[in-house]
Amino acid sequence: MSARRFWVFIEQEEGKAHPVSWELLGVASRLASEVKEEADAAGDTVHVECILLGNQVEHIAHEAIKYGAERVYLVDEPELEHYRNCPYYKCIVGVVRKYEPEVFLIGATTLGRDLAGAVATSLRTGLTADCTGLEMGEVKGSKQRLLLATRPAFGGNIMATILCRQSRPQMSSVRPRVFPMPPYNPEAVGEIVREEVPLDEKDTEACILEFIRDQAESVDIEYADVIVSGGRGLGTPEGFKLIEELAHELGGVVGASRPCVDAGWISYAHQVGQSGRTVRPKLYIAAGISGALQHKVGMQNSDFIIAINSDPNAPIFDVADVGIVGDLFQVIPAMIKEIKARKEALA
Amino acid sequence: MFHALVAVKQVPDTTNIRIDPETGNLVREGVPAIMNPYDAHALASAVEWKRKLGGKVTVVSMGPLSFTVTIREAVELGADVGYLVTDRKFAGADTLATSYVLAQVIQMIHEKEPIDVLFFGKQAIDGDTAQVGPGVAVRLDLPIITYAVKIRDIDLAKRQIIVERKTERWTEVVEAPLPALVTCEKEIAEVPFAPLPDLIRSLRYEPEVLTVDNTGIFDAESIGVRGSPTVVFKMGTPPLPEPGEKINSREVGVEAAVAAAFAKAEAAGILTSVLGGVK
C-alpha cells in the first residue's frame, strides 16, 4: 500500500495566487480520479496536494484548499519574498524528495517555466512543456496508469503525446487558460503542512536590485472575456484599427495571429497561439486568420468562436461555432453597426 | 579578458512548416534550416560585450554534422571558436539528456579557459520548451537569469553581472555573481550585419568536432535515449471538432450574415452576457 500523490505548484507573487494554479488543481483532481479504481484495487491511496512558497502567504494555502487541495505543503520564509530561481527550486526539490509525488504540474508562465526546467533537471526527471492535454492512461508494460502529456510540436503543426516511464515525478507545465477553473468550495477543509528547507548562502547570491513597473500598455488577453483577433487578411497594419473598433464596442481586447506579430504590425503581447498566449474568452472573433494549428490550439477552448475569412476552405472554420465567408472589411463594419444597435436596444 | 560561451541550435524555420493535407504528414522538403532566432540575438549580445571588454566568444552546438553551417553562421556574426558536439549516441535525447551533454562540454571548455557568461536563447522555436538553459545552469550549479532583455553591466573585476529580465508583471533588475547563465529575448541585442573579414573567415571555418570517443567525458547512461526519461508515445494531428455553420455573405448579403451569426451567439447565451458587461 502506498500513497499516490498528485501535486500542483501554487504560483504567487506579492501575496496573490496566479489563477493557473487553480486551473491545475482542477486537472490534478481529475487525474487523481482517473487512477482511483486502480488504486483502490491495489490498496493504494490517492491524494491531491500542492506546494506553496513565499513570505507570509498562508492565506493562499487556505484558498488552495477551497479549490480542491487536500493538503498544502507550505514553505514560508523571508528569503522567499520574491521569486528567485535558485532558492525556489532548491526548496521545492527538497520537499518533493521527502514526499515523492507521482505527478507534478506547474503553470507555464514566465515564472513557472523558469522554475520547472530547474526542478526537473535537479530531480533528473522528465518534464513536458506547454501541455494542452493531460490524462492518466494505460500503457503497455506499466502496472500503473501513466501521465500522458499531449503538446503541440514542430511549431504547433502536429500533436505529440509524451510519457515518462520510470523517473518520478512525472512533470508537466501547462499554460494559463488551457484548462477551466475548478469549482470553488468555501466549505472545503484540508491540512496545511509547514516545511523547512535549509538554504546555503550561495543559493541566495543572485538578488533583485529593483523592479521596474512598465508604464506602457499592458494587454491582458489571457483572462479577457472578449477577444477580436486579426490576421494576415488585414493586409496592412492599419487594418488593426478596424479590429480595435470592434473590440472596443464589445468591451474586449485585440488579439493577433503570429504572422502579424512577426511582420511587426502589432506587439507580441497580442499574439494568440502556441507561441503567444492561450485564451478562452466567452467570445472570440477571428478576422482574416487562416487558422494554422498553432493558432487554433491557443483559442479553440473559447466558449463561442466567430470566424470571418474570404476563403471558404480556411481551416479556422473547422473550430468556429459560426463562420462568415466574406470580406472582413465589409463584415466588421456591419458587426459594429449591429452591436451599436443591440446596445441601444438594451439601454 | 572576457570569455563568453554561446549555445546555438539549428532549427527548421517553423513558420514554413506545412502539413500534407492528404497524408497528414509533415512536409519537410524546402523547409529552410536557420539558426534559432533567440540564439542569434544571444550571440549578438555576447559579441557586443566581447568588443567592449576584449576577449573571446566560444560557440557550442549539439547536433548532426549539418549543423556546421550554423556554426559558420556564428563565426560570421563574430564568434571566435566553434565546437560541434556530434555523435549518433546522442540521438533521441530529450531536454534532460541534452542539458547533460552541453553541461559536460561547457565544463570541459571552462577547465581549459574559464567562462564568465553563458548566453542561451530563451527557447528554441522548434521545441519551445525553454528547459535546456535552466537545465545546464542546474547541472553546473550556476546562477541563471532567464528572459533577459538587457545586460546593464558585466564587471570582470567585481565578478558580477547586472541584467534586466522581463516577466509578465514587471522588469526585474538582477545582480548575480560570475560565472552566470543568461537566457535571452530578442531585445537583448540586434543581430548585426557581418563585417567582411568575419564573413570571409566563416566560409572556410571548420568547427572542432567533439564526440563521445574523442572527449571521453560522457557517461553512457546519461546520453541519448538511455539518458532521456521522456519518450514520444504517439504523434498525430489533433481530431477535428464538428465544424459550425458557415454563412456565405456573398450569397445572403453582409448584413444578413452578421445578423445570423449574432443570432447564433445569442442563442448560445453568449452575446447577452457579453453586451450586458459593456459599460
Here the ipTM equals 0.90
Out of A204, A239, A266, pick the residue that ends a domain.
Answer: A204
Find chain A residues with C-beta within 8 A of B167's C-beta.
110-111
A218 in any annotated domain: no
- What is the distance between the alpha carbons of residues A161 and B134, in angstroms, rounded to a whole number? 23
Where a domain ends, among A153, A174, A204? A204
8 Å CB contact between A135 and A163: no
Tell me if A205 and B176 make a contact (CB, 8 A cut-off): yes
* Torsion angles phi and psi, residue B150, rounded to 5: -160, 135
Q: How far is B144 from chain A (nearest CA, A)?
A: 7
Name the one residue in this structure whose C-alpha cell is 520574491. Answer: A82
* Distance of alpha carbon A324 from alpha carbon A164, whole angstroms: 43
One pLDDT digit (tens) per residue for chain A, 347 residues: 899 999 999 999 999 999 999 999 999 999 999 999 999 999 999 999 999 999 999 999 999 999 999 999 999 999 999 999 999 999 999 999 999 999 999 999 999 999 999 999 999 999 999 999 999 999 999 999 999 999 987 666 678 999 999 999 999 999 999 999 999 999 999 999 999 999 888 888 899 999 998 655 567 899 999 999 999 999 999 999 999 999 999 999 999 999 999 899 999 889 999 888 999 999 999 999 999 888 998 999 899 999 999 999 999 999 999 999 999 999 999 999 999 998 888 87
Residue A194 sits in the same domain as residue A231:
no
- Residues in A closer than 8 angstroms to B130, CB to CB, are 113, 117, 129
- For position A248, which CATH number holds? 3.40.50.1220
User: Using CB atoms, which residue from B12, B235, B247 is nearest to A322?
Assistant: B247
- A27-50: string of b/e by CB count within 10 Å (b at 16+)? bbbbbbebbeebbeeeebebbbbb
Interface-testing mutation among B96, B150, B151, B158, with chain A (most A C-beta atoms within 10 A): B96
Please state, in angstroms and as integers, the Cα–Cα distance from residue B207 to each residue in A220, A254, B60, B77, B86, following that order: 45, 46, 9, 15, 11
Residue from A82, A132, A304 to probe the interface with B (highest B Cβ count within 10 Å) = A304
Query: In chain A, which residue's Cα lies nearest the Cα of B145?
Result: A85
Chain A residues touching B273 at Cβ < 8 A? 282
Domain range for A124 is: 3-204
Q: Looking at the structure, do residues A83 and A180 belong to the same domain, yes or no?
A: yes
Does a structural domain hold residue A280? yes
Domain closes at, from A172, A204, A236? A204
Q: Which residues of A218-249 are buried (b: 16+ CB within 10 A; e: fewer)?
A: eeebbebbbbbbbbbbbeeeebbebbbbbbeb
Chain A: residue whose CA lies nearest to B126? A154
**Closest approach of chain A CAs to the CA of B5, in angstroms?**
20
Distance of residue B85 Cα from the nearest chain A Cα, in angstroms:
20
Residues A45 and A192 in one domain: yes
Q: What is the pLDDT of residue B16?
A: 63
Domains of chain B: 2-222 (3.40.50.620), 242-279 (no CATH)
Q: Which residues pair with B53 in a beta bridge?
A: none
Q: Are residues A188 and A241 in the same domain?
A: no
**B199 to chain A, minimum CA–CA distance in Å?**
27
Q: Answer yes or no: do B126 and A155 touch at CB < 8 A.
A: yes
Which residues, listed in sequence order, are joined to residue A47 by a DSSP beta bridge?
A5
Are residues A129 and B131, on separate chains, in Cβ contact within 8 Å? Answer: yes
Indicate the residue of A158, A293, A338 with minimum beta-carbon distance to B259.
Answer: A338
CA distance B235 to chain A (A): 4
* Residue B20 scores a pLDDT above 80: no
- Which of A157, A164, A346 is facing B19, going by the closest CB pair? A157
Disruptive mutation site among B129, B175, B271 for chain A (greatest number of A CBs within 10 Å)? B129
CA distance A325 to A311: 7
- Asked if residue A234 and residue A198 are part of one domain, the reply reads no
Range B175-199 average pLDDT? 94
Out of A208, A322, A334, closest to residue B244 by CB: A322
Give B-chain residues touching A15 at CB under 8 angstroms.
none
Inter-chain contact A326–B275, Cβ cutoff 8 Å? no
Residue A20 resides in a domain: yes
Give a yes or no: residue A213 inside a domain.
no
A305 shares its domain with A272 = yes
Q: B29 falls in which pLDDT band (50, 70, 90)?
A: low
Is A221 a domain residue? no
Q: Does one domain contain both A45 and A187?
A: yes
Looking at the complex, report in whole angstroms how far the Cα of residue B220 sits from the nearest Cα belonging to chain A: 15
| CATH code of A29's domain | 3.40.50.620
Min Cα separation A242/chain B (Å):
16
Q: Is residue A249 domain-shared with residue A161, that is, in the same domain?
A: no
Q: Cα dist. A235→A27, A175, A317, B250 in Å? A: 40, 30, 20, 20
Same domain as A190, residue A245: no
Whether B246 has a pLDDT exceeding 70, the answer reads: yes
In sequence order, what are the residues at sequence separation of 6 or more whose Cβ sits closer than 8 angstroms to the Cβ of residue B78?
A: B43, B44, B47, B50, B51, B57, B192, B194, B198
Q: For residues A315 and A200, state if they share a domain.
A: no
Half-sphere exposure of B195 (CA within 13 A, CB side): 6
Nearest CB to A121; choose among B139, B230, B245: B139
For the stretch B92-114, pLDDT in tens is 999 999 999 999 999 999 999 99
pLDDT above 50 for B125? yes
**Looking at beta carbons, which residues of chain A come within 8 Å of B276?**
346
Same domain, A173 and A26: yes
Q: A164 and A255 share a domain? A: no
Give chain B positions within 8 Å (CB) of A120.
95-96, 131, 135
Assigned domain for A19 exists: yes
Q: How many domains does chain A have?
A: 2
Instruction: Give the chain A residue nearest B132 (alpha carbons).
Output: A117
Helices (H), chain B: 37-53, 68-76, 95-112, 132-140, 196-204, 212-215, 249-252, 254-267, 270-276
Q: Are residues A346 and B276, on separate chains, in Cβ contact within 8 Å?
A: yes
Closest chain A residue to the Cα of B279, Cα to Cα: A251
Percent of chain B with pLDDT over 90: 76
pLDDT score of B19 more than 70: no
Strands (E), A108-186: 127-128, 133-137, 146-153, 158-164, 170-174
**What pLDDT does residue A156 have?**
64
